[in-house]
């Protein structure tokens, strides 16, 4: 037991050496900032490609709490392209790139990359990664929105057991994409996939655990009108920590492969 405890402490210390305690809080802050802009970008991108968003809206309704799901759906449905939308899109790309930049900084620390780059080079790289990820996710939405695939997806998702599997592998794909693309180093697909598998499993545990907990917890009696904000902050902070755990596992596997 002592050896196991010391091993756990060593792993935790190593994790904290590359992912400081404030990293999850910083990422959760950026997640709060980029949530609306990211959905705005997806709305504009899918409108330009004439992609039906019915499947994604249905998925949001089933996963997100009703209070926030309607807000996100309203953003996806506002798909008009005009001067205001263009300005919003530019601002949104910048906002989302700040979140990507935060992950990029942690990745440099994690993979021991001492990159000397100018501010211009840093912004160019984060913008390129941001646009690539957005195009990738919009492309996946376009594929899922095709008639036969959308029908199969809806059919499978209607079954409770399969719903877990579908949701799980959607998260695996999204996390694996970020673990592969953001670091300025070549990551093996298998390493990113295993890191994403662990992180996605922990995300599902967090999601369903919180669903059960919130049925009995009464945040209103403690935080009053600020209860919903406090809940969002907690959830985003825990989700950000899980994200970095998956990234850390990818890093360990990458270093082992190099050795």
Residues in contact with 96: Cβ distance below 8 Å, sequence separation at least 6, in sequence order: 34, 37, 38, 41, 130, 134
107, burial (CB in 10 Å: exposed 0-12, middle 13-18, buried 19+): buried
Q: What is the pLDDT of residue 230?
A: 73
Q: What is the pLDDT of residue 192?
A: 93
In a domain, residue 3? The reply is: no
Higher pLDDT, 80 or 247: 247
In a domain, residue 24? The reply is: yes
Mean pLDDT over each residue of the chain, to the nearest integer: 77
In a domain, residue 5? The reply is: no
Domain that holds residue 207: 10-258
In a domain, residue 2? The reply is: no
Q: What is the pLDDT of residue 3?
A: 80
Q: What is the pLDDT of residue 208?
A: 82
Q: Is the pLDDT of residue 242 over 70?
A: yes
Residues in contact with 76: Cβ distance below 8 Å, sequence separation at least 6, in sequence order: 39, 42, 43, 46, 53, 56, 57, 60
In a domain, residue 64? The reply is: yes
In a domain, residue 55? The reply is: yes
Q: How far is it, in rounded angstroms, from Cα 94 to Cα 73? A: 22
Number of domains in the chain: 1
In a domain, residue 1? The reply is: no
Q: What is the pLDDT of residue 123?
A: 86
Q: How far is it, in rounded angstroms, from Cα 199 to Cα 203? A: 6
Higher pLDDT, 108 or 259: 108
In a domain, residue 4? The reply is: no
- 93-141 tens-digit pLDDT: 777 788 888 889 888 888 887 777 788 888 888 888 888 887 787 777 6
Closest by alpha carbon to 199, among 169, 228, 219, 231?
Answer: 169
Q: What is the pLDDT of residue 6?
A: 83
Closest by alpha carbon to 44, among 98, 85, 96?
Answer: 85
Q: What is the pTM of this model?
A: 0.81
């Amino acid at each position: 037991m002592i050896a196991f405890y010391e091993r756990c402490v060593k792993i935790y210390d190593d994790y904290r050496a590359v992912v400081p305690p404030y990293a999850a809080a910083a990422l959760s802050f950026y997640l709060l900032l980029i949530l609306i802009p990211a959905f705005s970008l997806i709305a504009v991108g899918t409108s330009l490609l004439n992609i039906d968003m019915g499947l994604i809206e249905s998925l949001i309704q089933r996963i997100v709490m009703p209070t926030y799901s309607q807000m996100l759906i309203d953003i996806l449905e506002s798909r008009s392209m005009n001067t205001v939308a263009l300005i919003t899109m530019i601002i949104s790309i910048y906002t989302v790139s700040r979140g990507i930049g935060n992950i990029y900084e942690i990745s440099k620390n994690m993979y021991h990359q001492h990159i000397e780059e100018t501010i211009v080079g840093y912004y160019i790289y984060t913008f390129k990664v941001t646009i690539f990820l957005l195009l990738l996710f919009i492309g996946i939405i376009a594929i899922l929105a095709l008639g036969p695939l959308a029908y199969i997806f809806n059919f499978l998702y209607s079954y409770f057991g399969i719903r877990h599997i579908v949701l799980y592998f959607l998260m695996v794909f999204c996390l694996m994409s970020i673990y592969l693309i953001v670091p300025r180093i070549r990551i093996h697909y298998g390493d990113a996939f295993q890191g994403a598998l662990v992180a996605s499993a922990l995300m599902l545990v967090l999601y369903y655990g919180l669903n059960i907990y919130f049925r009995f917890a009464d945040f209103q009696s403690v935080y009053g009108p600020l209860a919903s904000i406090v809940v969002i902050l907690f959830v985003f902070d825990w989700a950000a920590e899980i994200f970095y755990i998956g990234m850390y596992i990818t890093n360990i596997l990458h270093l082992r492969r190099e050795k």
